Structure 1
Amino acid sequence: MTDMALTDTDTVMDTDTVTDRTHGDKPPKFCPPKMLRLTMVVLVAASVGVIGGWGLAVVPRSDAGHTRNSADVGFLQAMTTHHHQAVLMTQLASPQLEPLVGSLAMSIQTNQLIQVGQMQGWLQLWGDPVQPTESSMSWMGEEVADPGHMHGMADQSELDTLGSAVGRDANVLFLQLMLRHHHGGIDMATAAARIAGTDEVRALASTMVVDETREMEYMASLLDGFGATPLPETHHSPRQHSHPN
């Protein structure tokens, strides 16, 4: 078994990037990775997905620790849709973002495109559809027929507002929507880290929890620098989930 694919999802944020707000009014310095051209990111994502999927495909299915279940498939399908919206939000807001926020947006876009390629590669090699064929959250024991109602997702009116916002408003709304989006993603990844059947999917979900928690801390500090507060949560936190199989 290989965990090669998971190394590319390592966090791009140093834990020192979040500083004590009592030391000054400026947002903390963020150290972004090299700016990658979007076409290169897509190519890397695709290659990572194939490698990661191949690693799962060769795992013996007699090993109970590596047998995929509906949580593995459902999580990968749902999180692919979830990540696509995060990437869309970075693209809608990017022309208006200040350097610190823009660097964060590029980091989020890069990481999530790589993870999308990885997740789609696993689904394709398993012979499962990339899009869910039933309730997008049934793998968590929840019934959400509309993927737009997954935890933390922005609705169309919020996306439209983000796309037309300028200046400070665009920066604040981007941070608010992405904070809420990450919170929902962490809900989903936390459940998958517990109930997914394969070690690899559980590990990827755990990595998402760590990375997105750090990004949320940084976004909160940036939002505070704009004198703004997070949006109220619109989706409940998941209850203790039982395996839906």
Structure 2
Amino acid sequence: MEFRLHDLHLHSRLSSCAHDEELVPEYILKVAEENDYLQLCLTDHLWDPAVPGASDWYAPQDIEHVRQYAKLPKGEKVPFFFGCETELPMNGVLALTRENFDLFDFVVIPPNHIHMKNFVRPPEADTNEKLAKFIEDRLEALLERDIPFRKVGIAHLTGMILGGEKNANVCKYWSEARMLRIFKGYAEAGAGIELNIGAFDEMEESPEIILMPYLAAKEAGCKFYLASDAHERAALGSVANRGPAIIERLGLTAQHQYTIPV
């Protein structure tokens, strides 16, 4: 059986970095139904106010704010889930309390929002090699958390905002053996590994480097989900447009598909 298209990480107008007032659940669902997606999930940025340390940017994006869209429209064909994209700052304290996981069907955790310097990226991670190790360390440490991994997605592994530098210049320092060990942990925990469309922008230019962590995750037994990570309406179609090529390149079938538990 085939790996079905779906979109489990995308934003609405509620996310501060989404500047499209018409990026609303009704429109998002319309695109998903037109493309016959298996599942759909809204994941606006979130910082739980019960967790201290929110930045000025994150603080307004609290639980009350994102729950404005908690009651999502019902699709005729596509199940529409309510999730969030929380944060993992450099202190390693997840920006969503364990008890508040219950408010969401799915929680996206980004290990590499490293454009947030001195907030996510520590000053000592001042070279690409150190940054690569920092991300590996974070992925490993996250596995020790008491969270419901079966409704957790690990976001955009090879998609970072590096100020014009190539992602491959960081990813090339990752250890394949260590990644395999880490992903065995995520496979056992039941987490989903994200295939973020933008994270594959360098796939043709640096295929071995960009594909390595995903192939390691596949070997480890992980399951995967697709993500447009849309911040505007025009990006919602990226899963349908580019997802099949990524699926084919990784050799994924239905047995590799992550789905939000119901």
Q: TM-score, normalised by structure 1?
A: 0.30
User: Structure with the greater relative contact order (CA < 8 A, sep ≥ 6): 1 or 2?
Assistant: 1
- Whichever structure has more strand as a proportion of its residues is 2
| Greater helix content | 1
TM-score under structure 2 normalisation? 0.28
